[in-house]
Structure 1
Amino acid sequence: MAPAHFSCDACKTRIGLTDPRIHCLDCADYDLCANCAVGERVAGTHVVAHRTRVFKISGGGAVNALPSSAVIVHREVNNVPTPLPTPVSPSHPSVPPPAASKTSLGGPHTPDLFQRLYVVLGWSIGVCGWGPFFTEDMSPSPAFMQLMSSILAYLDTGRTGHLVPEAYSRFLDDQAYVGEGNVWKANLVARMGQTKEDTADKALKRAYDLFSIEYNLRPRPASSCGGMMPLLTLKGFMDITAVEMLCDPSKEWGSISRVIKAYNLPSVQGWGDLLRSVLPEEPHPQMMARVARVTAVSREQGQRELEAVRVRTMLEAKGRQNALDLLDDRRYYYTYN
């Protein structure tokens, strides 16, 4: 009988019932989430060369597991012609970069960077050039998934398989997003006893929730008020980037082109400049309608929050007046706008 749910033996997080799962055929009762499988993060006696089986629906409880036709192919790369780029360091000092990030572009690299195993999921033949980022039903294509996986790996200096808010904000900065286009950065202001990071984290989490973007909550290191930061998963990263690309393909083609050149990603080297044809010619109507609905909901929520603050302020003022009235017979009058 299947368990109620499966957990990743590498990152210890629960695998969603309908999320992909990679099961090791050589270990006893060993499973990985897609992020850890692609990122080659393992634990215990498991090694990346073990035989595995991919389930496109993890299953658990009343949900049946559904095997995938995808396979994981490991091949050793003994010669890497171009050194790996130095990852972008997040601005927050409490998220330290890994030791490998200390290596300069011109300096020597450790042998394990040149002799490591590469994982190919689903498209076992491999993607070797630019192609459409989306299929006819607007599902992500192998080319898009490979590119986004590479960008996440570049920005993920902590090698967690997620993007901390600082890293995702940097990604938007590198695309020249300004103002509310970069939600976390726009809300990086201390408010009502909260640190600026906690305030920005809440705003970013709210944006993810509005668009149903997948993320995991983790405690923010050194947070004075126990704040939680939303860590963007690979699926969430692809989904939120797809929203931007399908709403304004011409603008996003230029933005992502700059990122590809700036990051110097090994996985797409030799592919040449990003072709305009990878994105639709016109904005996608259904995605535009979705964004319009989300924007309307966001405005309504904002108005409700402002009204709640106004009412709370009035009640606090009335409470102070009542306390003063108990102390003496003088009357204090307040006006409320």
Structure 2
Amino acid sequence: MTARPPGRVTFVGAGPGAADLLTLRAVRAIGEADVVIWASSLVHPDVLTHARSDAEIVDSAGLPLEGVHEIYRRAAGSGLAVARIHSGDPALWGALQEQLEICAELGLATDIVPGVSSFTAAAAAVGRELTVPQVAQSVILTRLAGGKTPMPPGEEVARFAAHGTTMALFLSAARSGQLQAELTAGGYPPETPCVVAYRVSWPDELIVRCALADLAATIREHKLWKHTLVLVGPALAAGGTRSHLYHPGHFHGFRRADRAARTTLRTTLGDSRPSSVRDIPARDWPSSDSPTDARGTGPA
């Protein structure tokens, strides 16, 4: 007698909305599934076009997590392949960990397919990099305290805002006044640029730019509270500086530095140490498998 294959649950990141932002791996996982679980309140229905015609489609929008667990138990007993579709990336606010634990208890194999997050989709929609050299080199992903899930101490928006870097704020538009107040209390100037992004990549997408001083009023004016992300930080302003990694004065294991450009770059950085750049014949350049530093690059 042939043993039944073990069941499997694949947690699929559906991205921010548009079906063509699914990864190839996500499309394959949905197409191979016996059961596809999706939340109609969060995931665009076009994603389901990749499911098999005979697949069981379950809308989890009206189910508690226990209802989803029942499907996992059935998958374990019958050796079913399940695609559990999450909006954005499953690793962010996806109740993923508890689902992985129940799958482990049931003996189900699991896979996770990452997805495009709404914060990167919002940055793409406004044509801005979130980590502009010498402006912001960090991105903080967080939400306001006071929601359904308590926040750990020290993770208040105002504390994170004190860093002055780029922030992406999820699940916070419904309390826009509190959001603006905490960002301001943390130290962002009133003129700090913000992006309010509603249902990014959906047909009814709305992207609004404003200053921090007008953030709450902007959100209220457009009656936004669900499916809304806020980006804030100086990197969202027009302009910026060039990356040092691609500067002709920077060298690494695959490229030599131009001596004059290296001097200019070091002057810009305020580095008065003697230059370590020397002329190395091409035959002596390090190969791709030569030891460099841990990143495969030389000094910045």
TM-score (normalizing by structure 1): 0.25
Point out the structure with the larger helix share: 1
Point out the structure with the larger strand share: 2
